Amino acid sequence: MPKTSTKKAEQVPAATGAAWAELDRRARAQTTAGATLPPPAVHCSFCFKAQHAVKKLISGYGSIFICDECVSACNDVIAGRSGPSPKLSADDVPTERLLERLQPIEETIQGKGNQLQWVVDVLRSRGVSWAHIGTALGISRQSAWERFT
């Protein structure tokens, strides 16, 4: 499998536009000044393969990523070229593989939270009320305000 260079990994946020830049700015603002952080591990949000295990990894909003292999599988489904999904028993997955999936799953969950926060921030910047946001989420105005401020 080809490795993704650091330079290529740095180009992913630049290619995804202002939304990613805003999330990146927020993340950098939360880090300790002067701290050296390792580059974040990036995984496909669907199959959980690491960036170095796939040819391409495409970034979406809120730290959601999809690899070229999952895009290909999606294209097959759309074109009607795929059969039923194989059923996988929990007993068929080795313990080590499950342990390897914990961090990517957690990162995906955090990414979805970031995406939701970003959308709420955009709505609030447009003057949308907490009542409208709460209604869209199926929660009260007060709950929306407490959750996103």
What digits encode the pLDDT tens for the residues 50-71?
A: 888 899 999 887 678 899 999 9
pTM of the full structure: 0.47
Predicted confidence at residue 19, as pLDDT, reads 54
Predicted confidence at residue 46, as pLDDT, reads 84
Predicted confidence at residue 35, as pLDDT, reads 56
Per cent of the chain over pLDDT 70 is 68
Rounded distance between C-alpha atoms, residue 141 and residue 139, angstroms: 7
| Pick from 37, 24, 46: nearest CA to 105 | 46
Q: Is the pLDDT of residue 127 over 80?
A: yes
pLDDT (tens digit per residue) in 90-103: 777 778 878 877 87
Least confident of 69-73, 95-99, 109-113, 140-144: 109-113
**1 in any annotated domain:** no
Structural domain boundaries enclosing 37: 6-148
How many domains does the structure of the chain reveal?
1
HEC secondary structure over the chain: CCCCCHHHHHHHHHHHCHHHHHHHHHHHHHCCCCCCCCCCCCECCCCCCEHHHCCCEEECHHHCEEEHHHHHHHHHHHCCCCCCCCCCCHHHCCHHHHHHHHHHHHHHHHHHHHHHHHHHHHHHHCCCCHHHHHHHHCCCHHHHHHHHC
Amino acid identity of 63? Answer: S
Q: Average pLDDT for residues 109-134, to the nearest whole number?
A: 87
Predicted confidence at residue 118, as pLDDT, reads 85
Query: Residue 3 has which token pair?
Result: 């490795």
